[in-house]
Chains A and B, each alone.
Chain A
């Protein structure tokens, strides 16, 4: 079942490259994928060895609570964004290639979510990185090529760092994922140093995908050059692959016990706090809209890494919750930015005066998402940030346990500054200095996707109860 979920988009993508089907084919594949994922969600936990590479290295597919959450998120957002993309790329030279790689990337992500051991995770992580490069490359301008190269090299460098951890785990423990970690206490006490070094390499390595400092600089380069739907999923979903890998490796491989209170935890948290602050500050200063959103991702993703780094159940719940919320919100924001670019070809923030009068739906959705990201109740962002801060205060890390929340709050204020400023300009500054009124509202499908995402951003906050309790049961097994 899991394998079908992975192969469906991959075969669909290859078929699309070969046959140049109409766009309904993409929608069919994605709908089927959502359906299959839906069925998978309600099937009991399974684990299946697909192939043995060597005696030790297996390809294993497995479903558990965490993979369900990520899988549902990926599958749904992929469908929503594809609806938007069909109109967005209407006049594009090469929509087929875009959708083909869009589907292939989904295959890689699905495999990543279902990975049952580190080997499979690594395989799909690399596959997804490679397959998503054409999304960045799409326009084929010199800038895009340079950005794609940067993206790829950072990805490979990150994955290679994680490979050190992989080798260490392979030798000292097992690479199967098991809640709470796989290392025995005897091994931990004997080889503590090398295990910790491996853990740090892995966290920073996979964190590269989520733009952790000092491996963040590819993100603001690569995300803005892609077409808006691609930037949306790159920034909103693909970066979460890095988060997912970090969760898997830390909570299911190295184990909380090893890292809690060690220097690795401090380094991890400090790096993520630096990224939070730096991301927001740079976003505040940035004038190009999509770049601003990309910097915002750097900061928001590090919220999540910070939450994971606290190594407390509350922090974990907050982090995963923020994964879901940020996915929805960031996709909404990028789609909004894309809509503006699509209609008016304006990329700079200061050109957006009065745009809200011309594109009211787009800018309203944008504003709702912005408010949710800042963390205004009752949006999703509020609930997740609440948990993150609570987790930090529980962590008992001395100075950091209260410095963390302070930085998160400062960053939230900055977020309000860099996002709501745009809304203010769009709706209130009214005067059309630059002729922004030349455009008009986007088509129905693009509008619907944005409205759905904005709606979800609020719903996630209001009805977050079931999700939180589900996450709490997962977290219960990990600590």
Chain B
């Protein structure tokens, strides 16, 4: 076994130990440790991508070299590696870029705890991506939930506490359903490792034994992950939790944590079941319909919203709808498109949250559009990032969002589902996205008629607002978005290869 196969294990352990060490560290060392661990994990994931690209196959890694059932297994392929790379990289950028606002929002005493929770959150996300063992997945789903709740709550105020309780209840409901699913599948198959379960399930389906329990299991997995990833109509907790948290948390929660569960769900669908079984059970139809509804309803809710962070949070509901639509088409190319959307949303949403955070900062920490008027002139870089993010969400060519729509539309022709309806919803959601992002842009760029303004002053303000990490991370986010929008070929091939390795 090559040395590179240790990398997933290393990154997980690195993050967990960073969390443990940070307990005795002050807020500043805790932050630096966190960033360092995330940075190293990003590099390790990049190396892993290179390694897998070379070998061309996935591998299974036994932790501590104990075979199952005593040991624990990690399975890593191209899909996992790319997702881990995206998650670690984006988390690094979000935490690094929003360091200043974290400092003002989170009290001094709690700040090292905040970073500990971040470490735990990222470690558990990586486990969700890499694990080959369904019970380990459950344990880390719980850890993830608790860390996420603590992160939302770390900003003091009644708003966040109410949001956290809501979040906690919904999340626990999801976890409970997931556990129920695991118990049932364990009772049916007697295994907890994904490949072993897969063999038995194929046999069961082949002999059409236990069809009903299997449908229930797939349903339980689908619903539990849908609750956790805020698929419509289980989205009601999301805007409160993501809208009230501090900017770095909103970026990480909306951009990454939601995706962790979807990635787990895709792994379950691929490695435990298979696309054919899903098609047979019609669970993909349900996901498709919910995805389509989510694309519309998320945007409709966002249109009515007057708080910028809640608006962006509702937009996540719509974007998650795209992902589930891709999954619901139950063909490989649809899934690749869905996974590509995961990646695109991963770089776009944190950018929007970071930009919104910057705009909120220059408008006296108020989040409603009335107070945000003209804020983009005070922080031009945030304004530009917000525009880039919005254009990507609307689906203007050259930005990442357009490529997603293209892949999803291309998949819509190959699926057995109704192509025209999928296309129509895709296009309708484009218009709906425009209906809230465009007015938002016009509000943040609104000026009083009287106030004189000078382009050179504005250009000078760039660089004067916010610290270096903030500016750098926004610029990197913009570049990433445009790279995904113009050179998506290699990324798409990598994802195709990754999904190929999964099944």
Contacts and interface: CB of A to CB of B under 8 A. Distances in A.
B446 A161 contact: no
A156 B397 CA distance: 12
Given A140-B449, A156-B438, A164-B427, A54 B489 contact: yes
B431 A160 contact: yes
A164 B420 CA distance: 9
A133 to B, nearest CB: 9
A167 interface: yes
B397 A119 contact: yes
B463 to A, nearest CB: 14
Given A93-B452, A122-B397, A170-B410, A153 B427 contact: no
A431 interface: no
Interface in A55-114: 55-57, 93, 96-97
B188 interface: no
Given A20-B456, A164-B423, A153 B434 contact: yes
Interface string A156-174: 1100110110011011000
A349 interface: no
Contact of A167 (B398, B423, B442, B446): B423
Contacts of A3: none
Interface in A380-438: none
Nearest to A146: B442
Contact of A156 (B424, B434, B459): B434
Given A55-B489, A156-B434, A194-B419, A167 B409 contact: yes
A152 B434 contact: yes
A41 to B, nearest CB: 27
A141 interface: yes
Interface in A1-31: 17-18, 20
A234 B487 CA distance: 34
Contacts of A157: 431, 434
A368 interface: no
Contact of A130 (B396, B423, B428, B492): B396
Nearest to B451: A140
Nearest to A94: B453
B28 to A, nearest CB: 39
B430 A160 contact: yes
Contact of B489 (A52, A130, A156, A170): A52
B306 interface: no
Contacts of B424: 164
Nearest to B424: A164
Contacts of A52: 489
Contacts of A160: 395, 427-428, 430-431, 434
Interface in B389-444: 391, 394-398, 403, 405-406, 409-410, 412-413, 419-420, 423-424, 427-428, 430-431, 434-435, 438-439, 442
Contacts of A226: none
A123 B492 contact: no
A54 B492 contact: yes
Contacts of A140: 447, 449
A197 interface: yes
A149 interface: yes
Interface in B475-495: 485-489, 492
A145 interface: yes
B438 A152 contact: yes
Contact of A123 (B397, B420, B434, B459): B397
Contacts, number: 87
B66 interface: no
Contacts of B423: 164, 167-168
Nearest to B427: A160
A42 interface: no
**Residue among A18, A97, A164 with the highest chain B CB neighbour number at 10 A:** A164
B455 interface: yes
B397 A126 contact: yes
Contacts of B489: 52, 54-55
Contact of A153 (B403, B438, B487): B438
A53 interface: yes
Interface in B84-122: none
B430 A123 contact: no
B438 A17 contact: no
A57 B405 CA distance: 13
Contact of A141 (B398, B431, B449): B449
Given A53-B486, A163-B427, A194-B420, A18 B455 contact: yes
A117 B413 CA distance: 21
B394 A53 contact: no
A148 B442 contact: yes
Given A20-B456, A160-B430, A164-B423, A153 B397 contact: no
Contacts of B396: 126-127, 130
Nearest to B413: A171
Interface string A116-130: 000100110011001
A140 B395 CA distance: 27
**Residue among B391, B420, B423 with the highest chain A CB neighbour number at 10 A:** B423
B418 to A, nearest CB: 11
Contacts of B395: 160, 163
Contact of A149 (B438, B447, B455): B438
A200 to B, nearest CB: 12
B336 to A, nearest CB: 12
A55 B456 CA distance: 41
A148 B439 CA distance: 10
Given A97-B455, A123-B398, A167-B410, A54 B403 contact: yes
Contacts of A141: 449
Contacts of B456: 18, 20
Contacts of B486: 51, 53
Contacts of B449: 140-141
B488 to A, nearest CB: 6
Nearest to B437: A156
Interface string B162-202: 00000000000000000000000000000000000000000
A20 B455 contact: yes
A148 to B, nearest CB: 7
A20 B456 CA distance: 8
Contacts of A53: 397-398, 403, 485-488
Contacts of A156: 394, 430-431, 434, 438
B442 to A, nearest CB: 6
A161 B452 contact: no
Nearest to A17: B455
A194 B430 CA distance: 20
A19 to B, nearest CB: 9
Contacts of B439: 149
Contacts of A167: 406, 409-410, 412-413, 423
Nearest to B485: A53
Contacts of A96: 455
**Residue among A53, A123, A127 with the highest chain B CB neighbour number at 10 A:** A53
25 contacts: A18-B456, A20-B455, A53-B485, A53-B487, A54-B403, A54-B489, A119-B397, A148-B442, A149-B438, A153-B435, A153-B438, A156-B430, A156-B434, A156-B438, A157-B431, A160-B434, A163-B405, A164-B423, A164-B424, A168-B423, A170-B409, A171-B413, A194-B419, A194-B420, A197-B420
Given A20-B455, A54-B489, A148-B442, 12 more contacts: A18-B455, A18-B456, A53-B487, A54-B406, A119-B397, A130-B391, A145-B442, A167-B406, A167-B409, A170-B406, A171-B413, A194-B420
Interface of A: 17-18, 20, 51-57, 93, 96-97, 119, 122-123, 126-127, 130, 140-141, 145, 148-149, 152-153, 156-157, 160-161, 163-164, 167-168, 170-171, 194, 197
**Lowest 10 CB-CB distances: which A-B pairs, in order?**
A167-B409, A123-B397, A156-B434, A171-B413, A160-B430, A160-B427, A157-B431, A126-B396, A160-B431, A164-B423
Interface of B: 391, 394-398, 403, 405-406, 409-410, 412-413, 419-420, 423-424, 427-428, 430-431, 434-435, 438-439, 442, 446-447, 449, 452, 455-456, 459, 485-489, 492
